[in-house]
Amino acid sequence: MKIGFIGTGSMGSMLIDTLLEAKTIKEEDIVIINRTIEKAIKLKEIYPAIHIASDIEELTRQCRWIFICVKPKDIPSFTPTVIPYLSREHVMISITSPVSIHHLEELFPCKVARIIPSILNRAQSGSTLVSFSSRCTSTDEEAIISFVSSISRPLFIDENVTRVSSDIVSCGPAFFAFMAQRFIEGAVSETPLGEKEATELTTSMLIGLGKLLQEGYYTLPTLQERVCVPGGITGVGIAHLDQLLGEGFGSLFRLTEEKYATEKKKLAQEFQLK
């Protein structure tokens, strides 16, 4: 089965890279189209057997599954161009969170699903958030889950926790990478340790931390208890972090929820959705 990708930007190309590396799909079974043809050509230079569709009609004719890998703000412009060529058997798979499953069903006259990936999927790791429309059959769901499972751990989510789930799974790596970078900068600014050494030590620590949690040796609380000796250095550091952070993460999630609600409302107005 050929699979189409509308959009070959950051996330679209990441999915294609990962799926090919995992041998989930063959190059010759991928059909792509991109608003900027240069990006599609660049991807084809890496994977020569990939086919660049001449237009949306060709892509929909060749592919039953079609991944929508464009930015939320670009969805209104491409939707009218694809709708005339969709049948009931097509499955439109969105990777963006602001457009709900309900709204996707209003937009497209076919089966729809939503899969929110994470940059962690590039290492065939992490989770992918999955939602299906009522039009998808159990066979459709099983096939998509199997497909996604080759590069991640699929997690079913309800619509009301889409944003916070995406914050943790999809945005989380960037949030923690930001904090790790600040962690490195703090060490370099206050001690003789060089940036290269601090980066190597921090990267090694994060990889080891992930393995400890993955193997189930510790939970997050028990790991803190094991390392934090009463009256010791770690305890001083954790007490300081507690003061610095306060309710910082609570406000972070409030801000992202507000941004999400604004984007959903704006998109719904543009599409004139209910």
Distance CA 25, CA 47 (A): 12
Confidence of residue 274 (pLDDT cuts 50, 70, 90): low
199-240 pLDDT tens trace: 999 999 999 999 999 999 999 999 999 998 878 999 999 999
Residue ranges per domain, the chain? Answer: 3-157, 165-252
Out of 1.10.287, 1.10.3470, 2.60.40, 1.10.3730, select the CATH number for domain 165-252: 1.10.3730
Q: In the CATH scheme, what is the code of domain 3-157?
A: 3.40.50.720
pLDDT of residue 163 exceeding 60: yes
pLDDT at 74: 84
Residue 21 near residue 124, CB atoms below 8 Å:
yes
Instruction: Give the C-alpha distances (Å, rounded to integers) separating 194 from 64, 154, 199, 208, 259.
Output: 53, 40, 9, 21, 38
What H or E segment, with its residue span, contains residue 227? helix 220-227
pLDDT at 273: 62
Helix axes 220-227, 195-214, angle to 10 degrees: 120
Strand pairing of 111-116 and 127-132?
antiparallel
